[in-house]
């Protein structure tokens, strides 16, 4: 054995030990408001790896074998739930889907009762979609399993925002400085809220645009409780120079509640059209969480046109959810 000059070096783990990961701090994924930039970047990186799996002949890895994922959806949603389901299956987890009909709710079974039953059945991760804001937060305080918020009321939809960020990164170099216009029923949109958090944390330049009745209250002076964004009621101002234009779903009952006079007027003022997009950046991409009310939120030709990345969002949804399942595994975590 040669003994050559020795050097003072810090200790380094070998044996292909994994790079020690001190970035991820979450036991639950409830909202993006408490994610660090580093955590979001980690999700993006992990999603990339998961995305690659989806292009393999065998789209399956054994990573979550033995883990049980349960989806608990109080609102019907084939798209999002299938996305979670596929993601779990690709990671070899066992998955169970519960749709709670309104009858269980009227029977008086509380959310907490339902969760305790699910946990007793052995769930490691519970994915919840609920019409009331704060339901996943409540869940996280009462069960040992990890909770993923698949959309709660008007509050948050963190997995959607993460897949939206990932989709943007596939087309743009970085989020920092990116001009993003979010157009639609902002006040009632959990997708908008989570995107605002995620995008501002990553340094994007965000503009929200809606009729004034659909703009969130207090948005002019939001700090410290909410990120600062540009606000306008004029769609052309919002779209001008935008790198990303995101449409949002308009619930038809907004007209019934007197928030807008008619769908027709809303579409005339706020529909994302080819014409309006001419003022956006040359390589603008158009996004929407789906399902799209064609010709109300976005013109048909745009939905099916070359600028639309709406279908990619769906595929990316599976990859992002796989990444989140992966990051939530790992036992012995203090909570």
Partner 1 sequence: MWKYASSPLAGKITVRGFFMTRKIIMNEADIKRTLARISHEIIERNKSTKNIVLIGMRTRGVPLAKRLAANIELFENASIPVGVLDFSLYRDDISSQNVPPIVQSTDIPTGIDGKIIVLVDDVLYTGRSVRAALDAIIDFGRPLSIQLAVLVDRGHRELPIRADYVGKNIPSARNEEIQVYLTETDNVDEVAIIPEPGRED
Partner 2 sequence: MNKAMLIKGGRIIDPSQKLDIIGDLLIVDGKIKEIAPAVQNIPEDCGSLDAKGMIVCPGFIDFHCHLRQPGFEEKETISTGSKAAAKGGFTTICCMPNTNPAIDNKATVDFIKATAAADSCIRVLPIGCITRGRNGKELADMGEMVEAGIVAVSDDGSTIANSRIMKQALEYSLIFNIPICDHCEDIDLFEGGQINEGIMATRLGLKGIPNAAEENIVARDIALAKLTGAGVHICHISTEGAVDLVRSAKKDGVKISAEVTPHHLTMTEEAVLGFDTNAKVNPPLRSQKDVEALILGLKDGTIDMIATDHAPHTDNEKLREFATAPFGISGFETALGSLMKLVHNGDIDINLMISKLTEAPAQIIGNNFGKLGTLTQGETADITIFDPNKEWTVNVNEFSSKGKNNPLNGQKLKGKVKATVFGGEIVYKDNSMEPGA
Binding site for partner 2 (CB under 8 A): 33, 110-112, 130, 132-135, 137-138, 152-156, 187, 190, 193, 216-219, 221-222, 225-226
Q: Tell me how far the alpha carbon of residue 158 is from its chain's centroid.
A: 4
Alpha helices in 33-110 (DSSP H): 37-53, 78-90, 102-106
Give the nearer residue to partner 1 in terms of CB position, either 65 or 176.
65
Position among 49, 112, 121, 278 found at the interface with partner 1 (CB under 8 A): 49
CB of 221 to partner 2, least distance (A): 7
Residues between 142 and 181 with contacts to partner 1, criterion CB under 8 A: none
Q: In 10 A of CB 166, how many CB atoms?
A: 22
- Which range binds partner 1 by CB under 8 A, 8-16, 164-172, 199-207, 267-275? 8-16
Residues between 265 and 324 with contacts to partner 1, criterion CB under 8 A: 323
Tokens coding 315: 């595929």
Give the nearer residue to partner 1 in terms of CB position, either 41 or 119.
41
Count of residues for the chain? Answer: 335
Position among 28, 35, 42, 287 found at the interface with partner 1 (CB under 8 A): 42
Give the nearer residue to partner 1 in terms of CB position, either 209 or 319.
319
* Among partner 1, partner 2, none, residue 121 binds (CB under 5-8 Å by kind): none
Q: How far is CA 306 from CA 47, 91, 238, 287, in A?
A: 24, 32, 21, 12
Binding mask 66-105 for partner 1 (x = CB under 8 A): -x-----------------------x--------------
Position among 33, 54, 61, 255 found at the interface with partner 1 (CB under 8 A): 61
Q: How far apart are CA 93 and CA 118, in angstroms?
A: 16
Name the packing angle between helices 158-171 and 190-201 (round to 10°): 50
Tokens coding 208: 């929200």
Position among 34, 36, 37, 45 found at the interface with partner 1 (CB under 8 A): 45
Residue closest to 46 by CA, chosen among 76, 69, 26, 30: 26
Give the nearer residue to partner 1 in terms of CB position, either 49 or 112.
49
Residue closest to 165 by CA, chosen among 13, 290, 289: 289
Residue 312, classified by CB atoms within 10 Å of its CB into exposed (0-12), middle (13-18) or buried (19+), is middle
- Positions touching partner 1 (CB under 8 A) are 1-12, 14-16, 18-24, 42, 45-46, 48-50, 52-53, 56-58, 60-63, 67, 91, 323, 326-327, 329-333
């Amino acid at each position: 054995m040669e003994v050559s000059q020795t050097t003072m070096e810090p200790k380094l783990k070998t044996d292909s030990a994994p790079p020690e990961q001190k970035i991820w701090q979450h036991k639950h994924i409830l909202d993006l408001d408490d994610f660090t930039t580093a955590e979001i970047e980690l999700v993006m990186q992990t999603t990339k790896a998961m995305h690659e799996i989806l292009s393999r002949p065998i789209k399956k890895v054994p990573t979550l074998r033995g883990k049980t994922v349960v989806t608990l959806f109080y609102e019907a949603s084939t798209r999002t739930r299938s996305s979670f389901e596929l993601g779990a299956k690709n990671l070899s987890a066992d998955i169970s889907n519960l749709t709670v009909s309104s009858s269980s709710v009227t029977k008086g079974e509380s959310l907490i009762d339902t969760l305790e039953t699910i946990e007793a059945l052995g769930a490691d991760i519970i994915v919840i979609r609920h019409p009331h804001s704060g339901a996943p937060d409540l869940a996280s305080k009462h069960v040992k399993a990890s909770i993923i918020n698949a959309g709660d009321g008007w509050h948050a939809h963190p997995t959607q925002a993460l897949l939206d960020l990932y989709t943007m990164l596939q087309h743009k170099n970085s989020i920092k400085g990116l001009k993003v216009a979010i157009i639609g029923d902002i006040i009632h949109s959990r997708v908008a809220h989570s995107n605002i958090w995620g995008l501002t944390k990553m340094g994007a330049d965000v503009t929200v645009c809606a009729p004034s009745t659909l703009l969130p209250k207090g948005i002019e002076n939001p700090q410290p409780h909410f990120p600062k964004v540009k606000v306008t009621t004029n769609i052309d101002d919002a779209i001008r120079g935008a790198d990303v234009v995101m449409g949002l779903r308009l619930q038809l009952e907004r007209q019934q509640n007197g928030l807008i006079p008619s769908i027709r007027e809303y579409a005339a003022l706020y529909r994302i059209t080819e014409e309006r997009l001419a003022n956006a950046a040359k390589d603008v991409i158009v996004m929407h969480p789906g399902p799209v009310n064609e010709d109300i939120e976005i013109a048909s030709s745009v939905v099916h046109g070359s600028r639309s990345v709406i279908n990619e969002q769906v595929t990316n949804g599976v990859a992002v959810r796989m990444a989140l399942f992966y990051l939530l595994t790992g036992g012995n975590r203090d909570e």
